[in-house]
Amino acid sequence: MTAPTDRSDRSDRSDRARRPYELGSMPATRSMMTVDEAVVAAPMARIFELARDVERWPEHLPHYRFVKFRVRTRDGGGLVEMSANRPFGSLNWPTWWLSQMSVDERAPTVRYRHVDGITAGMDVAWTFERAAPGDDARTRVRIVHVWDGPRWPLIGTAAAVAVIGPVFVHGIASRTLAGLAKVAEGR
């Protein structure tokens, strides 16, 4: 999950006419699954907007190094390059990945499929629902990551299940969810 050395900005910020990525449903069977979930004391529209506005994540989340769209799509998603630090005490381990991102306002859901970086092939879904029926002031946010691991002979799946998922993916996703919840709640 280390960042590549070439970070030239290949963004196409004017391509709003591109069709959204059709990422479909989350795969049902994968070797690694991480789930991060929280009830956020904010209306669904507020936390959903913060979650989908990924370019602003570095403003809200100190562990994010950068987020850049290379291509934009009509649904507010696109091909997005992300980099975040995974802290280990006073040290930070830089990570990098490239994802197709789709946004469904009806569901509401934000979906990703990692297409480059060590986590290529990982599927991610952010889902949002009322914390309780009729409760418009609190939202249950759930982030699910599923993956079979890197294509490393013999150890790829084991590395995903034992280290990459619980240490890196969960370590970053839990901080991301907590940080966005803090912003949504006005803390």
Q: What average pLDDT does range 45-55 have in this prediction?
A: 98
Q: Residue 17: pLDDT band by 50, 70, 90 thresholds? A: low
Alpha-carbon distance values, 165 to 35, 60, 130 (Å): 10, 23, 27
What is the CATH number that goes with domain 32-184?
Answer: 3.30.530.20
- Please list, in sequence order, all residues whose beta carbon lies within 8 angstroms of the beta carbon of residue 148, skipping any fewer than 6 positions away: 30, 31, 32, 121, 156, 157, 160
Q: Give the C-alpha separation, 168 to 102, whole Å.
A: 23
Using one digit for the tens of pLDDT, what is the confidence trace for 70-99? 999 999 999 999 999 998 988 999 999 999
Retrieve residue 155's tokens: 């150890």
Q: What average pLDDT does range 128-132 have in this prediction?
A: 96
Checking if the pLDDT of 7 tops 70, the result is: no
Checking if the pLDDT of 10 tops 80, the result is: no
Q: Fill in the DSSP letter of residue 2.
A: P
- Please list, in sequence order, all residues whose beta carbon lies within 8 angstroms of the beta carbon of residue 163, skipping any fewer than 6 positions away: none
- What is the domain partition of the chain in residue ranges? 32-184
Q: Residue 1: pLDDT band by 50, 70, 90 thresholds? A: low
Checking if the pLDDT of 137 tops 50, the result is: yes
* Residue 44 CA, distance from chain mean position: 17
Q: Fill in the DSSP letter of residue 56.
A: G
